[in-house]
């Protein structure tokens, strides 16, 4: 069932409720006049632990890519010891296909600030840093404007309505990144926040125990925190009435896909943009109803479900349901950021794979050898295949390299290489005939180790 | 690319008597930025941004001054500064044009656009025009996939770019 009323887009005109042309910055006054900061007021009337329990009960899953339950993450914090504890807000939105957090920051930043304040109250965090990617110049300015308003109205700062936390008045700052995709990885983000190169850390210790400045730290995506205010305001039962429950026959320990979600859609569609819908919306519905169909009436060929690191959906997966269970059902990495990229019948999938491999080769931080070398290797092989100089050996090699790098095979610290290998592997596997037709049909006698994920 | 080793060992530092990190800028950073963080090092990215904003790039002498300011070794500052693509350790043109080349932009015609800009300016991506006015770069995803193709010109994002319109935009830059 389509989402009846917008939640995150309540103040951001979005089809079908409004026209994007009418979008404008929503300041503190307009935000509060339209029900804003009510969730915060309710939260402040509750014990911190009760707020965490409510978010847990709502089963809010992280909206930044991994889909980890936010309430559970919050409950991992150790007991207070009177020393400082931090919130790092991940606004490093750099995953190709993803442009949803930007929408919230541009037009309704107080929704984020409300979630930040609630999280700081619930988790007893005294300082929040919004880590925003360096390229978001305008968005950093908008955030600072909204934060200034929030200080004026005692959300943060001296005399804050949150009261003192860990002996300090709660503060919130914008921290600008400087052009590195890896800083969206939560521990890479923390390293960068500390003024170092954004090299992901080996876990454990997890950030909840030893994060920023070796102190307990919560890291949440912008959209996740923006969802917290409405949940506090309207309750867990309301939130769970939206979206999609657990698949049939799955035990309650498996997280479900409750709530609305921002879907970014781009590529070969008539009306690209960010849309808010219930989790579980079909890709075909998103393309036809929201994005007004395929560009130039062409046929659907493939789509990235949620940022390029999630892999690809093929022509027979046009009706795939975009929820947190998509990875299991459609052999991709997951829903990711729900930044959908649509490709039409004329799209060269070899070029797509090459583009994606280049991205990861470019953005690998260089810390782990399998990723540093592997991503570059895949890019070179795909460039060769695209130029017509490839053989079947090259395709075997692609599958072999992609199967052996990443946190899941256990050869890298973070998941960047997993994103790279899922993307390349699913494209090569799902479009094998297209790749096969592009290379010379010769294979050496070498035995390929491409066993993981190879379906040909 | 973040992990390419930079030739710093054999580099000669060009010095000038006037500091890049001026007393006025220092005072501003001490008042506004340093108190935000529990360590001085954490202020490194904001300080690098501030100095680059003033001077358009980060000369080696500026890195040394920043190191002294934040009680760091110059190597620590270089280590961080060289990791991030937005920090320029060499001069760049007055206008930095960054054309997004990630998937949505490539699907929507980024290659043709880049070619046209390149021909118009007479430089390849990665180069600066001889008059120092334009530097052309490719960028990975700028977070504007729904309005592809896109490009950043200094701090201004241009969306849904059509090559002819964009060429006119470049012409109007002083």
ipTM metric: 0.95
Tell if the CB–CB gap between B104 and A355 is shorter than 8 Å.
no
| Among the four given CATH numbers 1.10.1660.10, 1.10.3210.10, 1.10.10.1590, 3.10.580.10, the one describing domain B1-91 | 1.10.10.1590
**CB contact set of A224 (below 8 Å; sequence gap of 6+):** A60, A62, A63, A64, A70, A115
Residue spans per domain, chain B = 1-91, 95-172
Name the CA radius of gyration of chain B, rounded: 18
- pLDDT score for B17: 96
| Chain B residues within an 8 Å CB radius of A176 | 45-46, 49
CA A95-A173-B44 angle, to 5 degrees, is 80
How many other CB atoms are there within 10 angstroms of residue B76's CB atom? 19
Tell if the CB–CB gap between B107 and A341 is shorter than 8 Å.
yes
Tell if the CB–CB gap between B142 and A135 is shorter than 8 Å.
yes
- pLDDT score for A170: 98
- pLDDT score for B3: 55
Residue with tokens 């914008």: A174
Series of mean pLDDT values for 10-residue runs along chain B (174 residues): 61 91 98 98 98 96 97 96 95 96 96 95 97 96 96 96 90 86
| Chain A residues within an 8 Å CB radius of B106 | 351, 355
Per-residue b or e along A371-390, where b marks 16 or more CB atoms closer than 10 Å to that residue's CB:
bbebbbbbbebbbebbeeeb
- pLDDT score for B62: 97
Find the residue in A nearest to B45 (Cα). Answer: A195
- pLDDT score for B4: 57
A101 phi, psi to nearest 5 deg: -65, -35
B39, with CB counted inside 10 A (0-12, 13-18, 19+), is middle
As assigned by CATH, the class of the B95-172 domain is: alpha beta
| Chain B residues within an 8 Å CB radius of A98 | 141, 143, 145
Which ranges of chain A have pLDDT less than 50?
Answer: 451-456
- pLDDT score for A449: 54
For residue B98, the cross-strand partners are: B137, B152
């Amino acid at each position: 069932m389509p989402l009846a009323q917008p939640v995150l887009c309540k103040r951001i005109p979005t089809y079908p409720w409004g026209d994007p042309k009418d979008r404008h910055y929503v300041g503190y006054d307009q935000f509060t006049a339209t029900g804003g900061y009510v969730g915060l007021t309710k939260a402040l009337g509750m014990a911190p632990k009760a707020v965490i329990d409510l978010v847990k009960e709502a089963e809010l899953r992280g909206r930044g890519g991994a889909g980890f339950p936010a309430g559970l993450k919050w409950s991992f914090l150790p007991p207070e010891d009177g020393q400082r504890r931090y919130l790092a807000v991940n606004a490093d939105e750099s995953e190709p296909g993803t442009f949803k957090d930007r929408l919230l920051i541009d037009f309704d930043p107080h929704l984020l600030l409300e979630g930040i304040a609630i999280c700081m109250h619930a988790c007893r965090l005294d300082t929040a840093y919004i880590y925003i990617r360096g390229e978001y110049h305008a968005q950093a300015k908008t955030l600072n404007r909204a934060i200034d308003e929030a200080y004026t109205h005692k959300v943060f700062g001296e005399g804050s309505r949150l009261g003192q936390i860990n002996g300090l008045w709660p503060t919130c700052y914008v921290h600008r990144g400087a052009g590195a995709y890896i800083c969206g990885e939560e521990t890479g983000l923390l390293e960068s926040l500390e003024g170092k190169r954004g090299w992901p850390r080996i876990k454990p210790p997890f950030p909840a125990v030893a994060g920023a400045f070796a102190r307990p730290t919560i890291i949440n995506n912008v959209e996740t925190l923006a969802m917290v205010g409405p949940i506090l305001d309207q309750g867990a039962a309301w939130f769970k009435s939206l979206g999609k429950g657990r698949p049939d026959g799955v035990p309650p320990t498996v997280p479900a896909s409750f709530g609305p979600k921002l879907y970014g859609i781009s590529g070969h569609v008539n009306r690209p943009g960010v849309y808010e819908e219930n989790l579980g919306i079909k890709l075909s519905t998103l393309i036809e109803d929201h994005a007004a169909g395929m560009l130039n009436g062409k046929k659907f060929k493939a789509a990235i479900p949620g940022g390029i690191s999630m892999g690809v959906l093929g022509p027979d997966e046009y009706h795939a349901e975009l929820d947190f269970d998509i990875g299991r059902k459609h052999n991709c990495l997951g829903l990711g950021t729900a930044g959908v990229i649509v490709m039409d019948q004329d799209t060269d999938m070899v070029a797509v794979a090459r583009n994606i491999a280049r991205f990861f080769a470019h953005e690998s931080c260089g810390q782990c050898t399998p990723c540093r070398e592997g991503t570059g290797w895949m890019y070179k092989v795909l460039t060769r295949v695209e130029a017509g100089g490839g053989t079947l050996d090259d395709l075997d090699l692609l599958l072999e390299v992609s199967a052996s790098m990443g946190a899941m095979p256990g050869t890298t610290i973070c998941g960047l290489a997993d994103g790279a290998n899922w993307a390349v592997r699913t494209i090569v596997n799902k479009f094998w005939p297209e790749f096969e037709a592009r290379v010379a049909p010769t294979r050496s006698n070498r035995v390929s180790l491409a066993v993981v994920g190879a379906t040909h | 690319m973040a992990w390419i080793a930079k030739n710093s060992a054999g580099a000669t530092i060009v010095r000038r008597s006037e500091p890049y990190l001026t007393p006025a800028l220092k005072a501003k950073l001490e008042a506004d930025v340093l108190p935000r963080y529990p360590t001085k090092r954490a202020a490194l990215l904001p300080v690098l941004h501030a100095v680059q904003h003033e001077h358009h790039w980060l000369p080696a002498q500026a890195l040394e001054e920043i190191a002294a300011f934040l009680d760091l070794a110059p190597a620590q500052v270089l280590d961080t500064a060289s990791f991030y693509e937005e920090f320029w350790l060499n001069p760049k043109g007055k206008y930095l044009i960054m054309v997004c080349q990630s998937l949505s932009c490539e699907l929507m015609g980024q290659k043709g656009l880049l070619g046209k800009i390149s021909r118009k300016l007479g430089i390849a991506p990665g180069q600066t025009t001889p008059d120092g006015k334009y530097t052309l770069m490719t960028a990975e995803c700028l977070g504007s996939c729904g309005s592809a193709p896109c490009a950043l010109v200094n701090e201004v994002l241009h969306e849904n770019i059509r090559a002819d319109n964009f060429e006119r935009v470049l012409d109007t830059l002083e």
